[in-house]
Amino acid sequence: MNSLERGAKQLDKMMEAELAESNLSSSNKSVDVVDKDCKDDDKPSTAKALIDLALNHCDLFHDERNDGYAVTTHNGIRRTLKLRGKEFRRWLAGTYYATTEKAANNEALSTALSVLEAKATFDGQMLELSNRFTMRDGAIFIDLADSRWRAVKVTINGWEILDKPPVLFRRFSHQQALPDPVRGGKLSDIHNHLANQKKSL
């Protein structure tokens, strides 16, 4: 075998070795990608975590207008929040951060809210909401619209302030809180007040 043939043969061996090494590297990269995908699939998404968080801490329902709501309890205060409202979105984002020390992105929040609204509409019960006051079982309930979500229960025997009234109220952003009622007044005080207002007109 002459020197030219020996050189060609040696070159063929070098090319075969490089090709084998290249195939091995590609195979390892494929395995890495598959492993990464498997890990991503095993890890719950942020949207799924938000949904589970809400389902574990809220009672979902829809009102007579078919709007989705959640009843949340925080620091002993029970609130009725519209799922598409700013207050519930803040509650969900804040609770998620307090639980995971991570911030939920807007896409995850929007996805979670859409799912929760669907569950409230199709799986939750229908509850009629009232605004400011309502009557139930012979009693009148007046929403104080304060930050503690209290209401006044009025019956023929008197009145009392309830921290968690048996009725749910719908609130709007323009509503102002009412002052706490004070005992000792008389119905004639209302008449005098209305009479004074009429004179001032």
pLDDT tens digits, the chain, 201 residues: what are they? Answer: 555 455 445 546 655 666 556 555 555 554 454 444 444 444 569 999 999 999 999 999 999 999 999 999 988 999 999 999 999 999 999 999 999 999 999 999 999 999 999 999 999 999 999 999 999 999 999 999 999 999 999 999 999 999 999 999 999 989 999 999 988 877 777 777 677 666 666
Q: Which domain holds residue 74?
A: 46-126
* 4 within some domain: no
Q: Are residues 52 and 120 located together in one domain of the fold?
A: yes
Is 52 found in the same domain as 114? yes
Do 86 and 121 belong to one domain?
yes
pLDDT at 11: 47
Within this chain, do residues 151 and 88 fall inside the same structural domain, yes or no? no
- Structural domain includes residue 38: no
DSSP letter string over the chain? --HHHHHHHHHHHHHHHHHHHHHHHHHHHHHHHHHHHHHHHHSPPHHHHHHHHHHHHEEEEE-TT--EEEEEEETTEEEEEETTSHHHHHHHHHHHHHHHS-PPPHHHHHHHHHHHHHHHHHTSEE---BSSEEEETTEEEEE--STT--EEEEETTEEEEESS-SS-B---TTPPPPPPP-TT--HHHHHHHHHHHHHH-
Residue 170 lies in a domain: yes
How much is the pLDDT for 38? Answer: 41
Mean pLDDT for the chain overall? 84
Considering the domain architecture, whether residues 93 and 79 belong to the same structural domain is answered as yes
Q: What is the largest distance, in Å, between two alpha-carbon atoms of the chain?
A: 129
Residue 34 pLDDT: 42
Note the pLDDT of residue 105: 95
Task: Out of 101, 126, 151, pick the residue that ends a domain.
Answer: 126
Q: Confirm whether pTM is higher than 0.85.
A: no
In a domain, 2, yes or no: no
Residue 5 lies in a domain: no
Residues 35-73: pLDDT tens digits?
444 444 445 699 999 999 999 999 999 999 999 999 999
Inside any domain, residue 176: yes
Collect all residues with Cβ–Cβ distance below 8 Å to 88 and sequence separation of at least 6: 70, 72, 81, 82, 113
Same domain, 175 and 135: yes
Number of domains forming the structure of the chain: 2
